Structure 1
Amino acid sequence: MSRYLFLLLVCSISVFADSVLTLEKAYELALMNHPGYRVEKFKTQAVEENVRQTQSRLLPKVDISASGGKYEYETYYNGTETSEVYKTYSLSLIQPLYRPELWRAVDQMQTRYDTSTTELEKQAQQVGVDVIKTYMQMLQAQANMDKLQFQKEFYDTKFRKSSEMIAMGLSNSVELIEAKVNKEKALIDLFAKKREYWTLQNKLERLCKAKFDSIVPLKSDKGFSMSKEEWMSRLHENKDVRIARLSKKAAEDEVAIRRYDHYPKADLSLGRSQNYTNDPVAHKYDNKAFIQLSFPIYQGGYTSSRVQEAILLLNAAESNEELAQLQIQDKFEELWTQRESLYESIEVLKQALDSSKLFLQSVQSGYEKGIKNQLDIMEAKLKMKSVESELNISHHDMMVNEVGLLDLTGQLMIQNI
């Protein structure tokens, strides 16, 4: 019996784990299943292969070849016609000795790999922003639904009381109609908010590619203590700024690589060939060892034009870095202004919540003394729930603002959630 109970408990926990979704789990599932993240991941892996390819150009190149077949010829020195099966084998090795453009190309490709890695991190952050915003909007919708559900109950009770009072002549048809309109509007508002919640739930399920019944609420009283100066000191870690900075570095490498086309080049070439022939004057084998030098002299201005093109692209990359920094600064100021406004709203709503609680206590006290009725208590509770809902929504807006700042400073990672 205890064994069966244990299995039942395990199954219950598994079902609960599948039906309730946490924010961290949502982010992890989205990263595993988001096609945009997979695209950047495959691109990064491809660039990593390009790094290996570029590095391989600095290593020796070894080739072996063989040929054979029917060979007929007539020599001048003896006038004899010869028909034979001719075979030859050759082995060659070429080692770059002085190729500065190859060394610089390795640095450039490593920079491009760092850029691709940063693009992958940026895509991961974007997935995180989408998931977290949707998650927060669902929590806000839940807070609104709680308020609207109580509002519906309040107007249902008010309509029922008005119906009873009109039968006793203590009310009139106008008050009854008003109560009916309020009741129906409360029901419409509740249905609209539920549809909004279901839409958000479907969106989160598409992002995570997982079904769930509910999400885990977050603590809405989190403190946000980091100062503006501390946030600003981290703006240089922004992914767009880092990508622009790496792009400028790659452009600098490209200028150097193209300038190296004016430089001489040196390669070591080693080779051996073995010939099998009846020709008495042909070489039986050849061993070669050469230092091959090449000096560019004139190419019609092609190399100079390519260098100038690279310089112009470098100027564009420098301007792009400056533009990225300017845009990030503007975005930060926008987020910080929103943050200060939310701070003020939260403080006011906290005071309003305290006042609404005091008001509810006074109404309850009046009810005990026979001065107030049940509707008065429900109306006071509705006011308190409305303030609570607005306060929760503001707290979640502050969390979204925090996510925006983490994204802006390149720190939006699972461990920071």
Structure 2
Amino acid sequence: MRHYSSLLLACSISVFADSVLTLQKAYELALMNHPGYRVEQFKTQAVEENVRQAQARLFPKVDISASGGKYEYETSYNGAETSEMYKTYSLSLSQPLFRPELWRAVDQMQTRYDTSTTELEKQAQLVGVDVIKTYMQILQSQASIEKLQSQKELYDAKFRKSSDMIGMGLSNSVELIEAKVNKEKASADLIAKKREYQTLKNKLARLCKTPFDSIAPLRSDTKFSMSKEGWINRLQENKEIKIARLSKKAAEDEVSIRRYDHYPKADLSLGRSQNYTNDPVAHKYDNKAFIQLSFPIYQGGYTSSRVQEAVLLLNAAESNEELAHLQIQDKFEELWTQRESLYESISVLKQAVESSKLFLKSVQSGYAKGIKNQLDVMDAEFKMKSVESELNISHYDMMVNEVGLLDLVGQLMIQNEEF
């Protein structure tokens, strides 16, 4: 089963060179190679076998046996000693007739299989969140590097100008030192950000187990829904809540299964045995068909204690479901508060980008008329790139927030119908 994020479908660019890693491909590779996901896959397959085992206990059980060997005996009716090769064969069939605990065990195992499947989906989401966040951090680092590169060029130019002006007596050593400090700090900031960028690239390569040169950019026109009620209505599909709900259902089944130990049990038993012996009074064959009934009378309180244990575990499962609801609601409120803040920041930064472009255009016009100098133009360009970088970073933060909400409502991964 292959999965991908609904957000990835909206954001990823479809065609890139082999050395360019897209978000969707990164997720697919990470899911294929992640050991935690494989662990959950094997666990799910094992629980599926448990379902088959529970179902098999409802079917007839057929056994065949044979024995043979040397047999010596003396009969009382004739006092003769006999030594012979004795052989016997038997065939038996047993069919449960009234075993309600077996039927309920099938339901319980199916519930546990659904729980394991949900755990597998949850693990896929965890892998997706890790990949997407790393991917977004790389894009944010790229945006920061562009801003810091522009800042470094600006401070390099200012330092060169201060060096030239101090020789002409138009500047002083304090201004030169300040320009040098700004220049060196800009270089240090750029180097640190490039190291951070490489670290994030290495992390993504480890997750995907695939080397790459660069990653694909994402669309910047992604629309984000602001309907809080719509998200709240989808919280019931959260994986943690579903797991808690299914665990409670399995606990309810366990209570019923243990209570059935107080009930009578009935089984149909059929059998045939064939004996090969020289004993004239021994049965040559035996055919049996009977119904076995058992009625529990007293077991020293063992069954009652097991039932009480199951009831207590059911109470714990109910409390765990309530706790899951509270924790998910708290996490949603935290993400939603962050979303509202990011939404407002993006709106303000979009206006700031337009203003910075107008400012740059004005400075360039002044430079053409001889009113502004080259440093003024570089400073205006830096301000524009700085605001654009902040807008891109906020946009990626909003994407990460969207991923967090999709993860919270259990809809980050959907099945790819093309595979």
TM-score (norm 2): 0.94
Matched letter for residue 90 of structure 1: S
Distance between the aligned counterparts of 1:382 and 1:121, measured in 2?
45
**Identity %, equivalent residues:** 87
Match of 1:231 in 2: 231
State the SS of the aligned residue for 2:18.
helix
Pairwise CA distance, 1:369: 1.6
- Aligned equivalent of 1:3: none
Residues 343 and 415 from structure 1, CA distance in 2 versus in 1: closer, same or farther, beyond 3 angstroms? farther
Q: Distance in 2 between matches of 1:18 and 1:37?
A: 25
Q: Which amino acid aligns with 1:275?
A: N
Q: Is the 8 A contact 1:27 1:414 kept in 2?
A: no
Segments of structure 1 that go 5 or more residues without pairing to the other structure are 1-15
SS of residue matched to 1:48: helix
| Contact 1:118-1:239 at 8 Å conserved across structures | yes
Structure 1 counterpart of 2:8: none
* Aligned-pair CA distance for 1:226: 4.4
Secondary structure (helix, strand or coil) at the match of 1:222 reads: coil
Aligned to 2:11: none
- Report what 1:288 is aligned to: 288
Q: Which residue of 1 aligns with 2:312?
A: 312
Q: Helix, strand or coil: the match of 1:39?
A: helix
Is the 8 Å Cα contact of residues 221 and 395 (structure 1) preserved in structure 2? no
In structure 2, how many angstroms separate the alpha carbons of the residues matched to 1:139 and 1:302?
Answer: 62
CA distance in 1, matches of 2:414, 2:303: 48
- CA distance in 1 between partners of 2:414 and 2:374 (Å): 48
Which amino acid in structure 2 is aligned with residue 29 of structure 1?
L
1:17-416 aligned within 5 A? 17-413=17-413
Does the CA contact (< 8 Å) of 1:24 and 1:414 recur in 2?
no
- Per-residue deviation, 1:176: 1.7
Q: Distance in 2 between matches of 1:413 and 1:96?
A: 43
Which residue identity is paired with 2:124? A
Give the Cα separation in 2 of the matches to 1:40 and 1:218.
Answer: 31
Deviations 1:220-271 (A, max 9, x none): 3311124000000100000000000000000000000001001010101000
* C-alpha displacement of 1:356: 1.3
Structure 2 portions without partners, runs of 5+: 1-15
Q: CA deviation at 1:358?
A: 1.6
Q: Is the 8 A contact 1:85 1:277 kept in 2?
A: yes
SS in 2 for 1:169: coil
> What is the rounded CA distance, in whole Å, between the counterparts of 2:254 and 2:220 in structure 1?
51
Moved more, 99-108 or 150-159: 150-159
For 1:65, the aligned partner's letter is: S
Question: Which letter maps to 2:140?
Answer: Q
| d(CA) in 2 for partners of 1:410, 1:48 | 22
**Following superposition, which runs of at least 4 residues in structure 1 exceed 3 angstroms of deviation?**
none
Q: Is the 8 A contact 1:131 1:207 kept in 2?
A: yes
Could you tell me how far apart the structure 1 residues matched to 2:18 and 2:282 are? 81
Equivalent-residue separation in structure 2 for 1:48 and 1:149 (angstroms): 56
Counterpart-to-counterpart distance in 2, 1:388 and 1:367: 23
Provide the rounded CA distance (Å) in 1 between the counterparts of 2:323 and 2:64. 53
Deviation (angstroms), 1:361: 1.5
1:328-377 superposed Cα distances (whole Å, 9 cap, x missing partner):
11111110000001111111111221221121112112111211100000
In the superposition, the TM-score normalised over structure 1's length comes to 0.95
* Separation in 2, partners of 1:17, 1:73: 88
RMSD over aligned CA atoms reads 1.3
Paired with 2:342 and 2:28, the residues of 1 have a C-alpha distance of 29
- Give deviations 1:388-408, integer Å, cap 9, x for gaps: 111110000000000000000
Indicate the residue corresponding to 2:13 in structure 1: none
SS of residue paired to 2:278: coil
Q: 1:263-301, CA deviations, whole angstroms, 9 ceiling, x for partnerless residues?
A: 010101000000011111100000100101111111111
Q: Tell me which amino acid in the other structure corresponds to 1:354.
A: E
Alpha-carbon separation, structure 1, partners of 2:387 and 2:28: 34
* Corresponding residue SS for 1:18: coil
Amino acid in the other structure paired with 1:281: V
Give the residue type in structure 2 aligned to 1:352. Answer: A
Equivalences, count: 402
Which moved further from structure 2: 116-125 or 157-166? 157-166
**CA 1:49–1:17 in 2, change beyond 3 Å: closer, same or farther?**
farther
- 1: CA distance, partners of 2:213 / 2:169: 48
Q: Relative to 1, partners in 2 of residues 1:274 and 1:17: Cα closer, same or farther, differing over 3 Å?
A: farther
Work out the CA distance in 2 between the residues paired with 1:152 and 1:30. 36
Q: Find the aligned partners of 1:247 and 1:415 in 2 and give their Cα distance.
A: 24
Residues 98 and 267 in structure 1, CA contact (< 8 A), matched pair in contact too: yes
Once residues 227 and 94 of structure 2 are traced to their aligned partners in structure 1, the CA distance between those partners, rounded to angstroms, is: 60
Aligned AA (1:120): L
Given residue 205 of structure 1, which amino acid in structure 2 is its aligned partner? Answer: A
Of 166-175 and 245-254, deviating more is 166-175
